[in-house]
A and B are shown apart, each in its own frame.
Chain A
Amino acid sequence: MALLEVDDLSVSYATSSGEVVAVDHVDLHVEPNEFVGVVGESGCGKSTLLFGIAQLLSSPARITGGSVRFKGRDLVSLSSRELRAQRWRDFSVVMQSAMNALNPVKSIGAQFIDAVKAHEQMPKARIRERSAEMLRLVGIDPVHLKSYPHQLSGGMRQRAMIAMALLFTPDLVIMDEPTSALDVVAQRSLMAQISELQDALGFAVVFVTHDMSLVSHYSDRLVVMYAGQTVEVGDTRDVFDSPQHPYSQGLLDAFPSIRGPKTTLTGIPGAPPDLALPPPGCRFAPRCPMVMDKCHTIEPELYRAGSALARCLLYDGEAK
């Protein structure tokens, strides 16, 4: 049994122009200690998926189908009290911008105390000790327990967030673009830190990002999302070396390389579909360089494509 089993999850928003399906029948399985990258551009549903998994959706968004089994228990069906018992101890969440997630008027130490007390009775001294330990683990001098968020640099704030997320050494940490507010050197450093922590403490990571190359060295598996659906799932190296879905190919090709020969790139023309009115058939068909006639009428499933899964009729096993 996998650590996290998301099966057929769907999340919808009620908007004034109708129901918008932001996450459409998504499956995601995460094994213990695995690093899974969820990659996609704006509007693909990756953040909504994350919020759906962590049971953090707020109206008008709601889960309309599927299940989220964490260690065998379906999180969707838990009461909020039962959920609270699991939160932070078994799984925790790191948000995109620490400045938005940290309380600006409380010291870091005070926030750690809040986080611990919300889930366990622990004497203050023990909490301080644990907080200092966690800060050291992420490379911050424990003297900063007395500092306020604005006194730390962006990189340090993100590390403090990660330290907070690891207070109870959970089995799963869900991260929503934790590095995107940082400069490239700080990003690289944070990614390496996360990897080290994973080795030291042993936890699984679900890492949501728009930047494929960022996770390329750290993730075991990659899930590519487009228009609310998963379009490719596979081992990271396989997806990078030979992407099966035309969108993954297009996405990889859209990154200018820093080394190697200079070629003219084209990106992917067009824009993602309006999820209130998704196009019939394959959602990527309007922009796909390899589109066939049947792509406009048949909705593709996830088919086996080499060692990966791809939501593309090129792999449906039928004659063209």
Chain B
Amino acid sequence: MTSHDFHADPTRPGAIPASSVPPRRQPPPAPPPPGPRRLTRSREDRILAGVSGGLGRYFDVDPILFRLAFAVLVFAGGAGAVAYLAAWLFVPEEGSRTPAAGGSVGQVLLRATLAVVVITVAVLAAFGVFIGAAFGGGPVIAGVVIAAGLAMLVAGLLGVRRARWLALPALVVAIPLAVVAAADVDVDGGIGDREYHPASVTELRDGYDLGMGELIVDLRDVALPQGRTPLDIELGAGSALVLVPADVCVDARARIGVGHADVLGRESDGVDLELEWAGRPADASVPRLALDAEIGAGELKVRRASALFAGDIEPFGGDSCGAVS
């Protein structure tokens, strides 16, 4: 029998009347268990759609972590843009239980369009920086990066947190500039596609220069003289194709900031490429083309005329007068 039963039994000797028992004070109801934390887009801490603000709040870290991560990943094949767009569409806004994609079709289309526009503008801005730097505006752009950094530094020393956002545009500007600087992209030669098809040695220039685009130098109709014939190729960004006659040896030097080289079937790719191919020592009577190519970002291809008629199969070796030094 419990004490409650004891008090409740009025027939029991010595029982206390229930009316004289003070009512037992009920403990306050326990607060409801906290629900699972929800990832939402922030309404207050936002630059575009509040995705980074919401992620920062969810993981209890500064949102600039995510803002920078999204921005840097934009340069990784656009992964940052896709991830941001997906989060915008599928993560609900603070105070709402439905994600953007759960709204009306019109709202979804509006948000998606806005996201595409914003991302396009950002990519175009980065491309603009790339072009501006390639056309010689690099020192000014570098100055802007320095100014942004110093402004952040001074603001930080003064305790102003709001200047943190400068990190994002500064890095978005600095990254394409760094690519131009490292690849040594120079577009002084102009932009567009150029094709040169000299018919004789007299029409052959010492060098061919193009800033950005596709450069084709077709030497198949040129009867190169005995000995060494120099040929310089300079390309800022794009692809260069050199077609050489079947009966010449090719010595090639190539410096490529970032890209790919395919010289008579010998391929190499990566960054900071410095390649050298030397034709096998041959009779001095055999014409020898000394190709010196400098490419900032892009591709260099050297094809032999005979290969063009053989289904693009490179006749490297044998009498092709080619060997890697």
Chain A partners chain B: no
Q: Could you list which residues of chain A lie within 8 angstroms of chain B, going by C-beta atoms? A: none
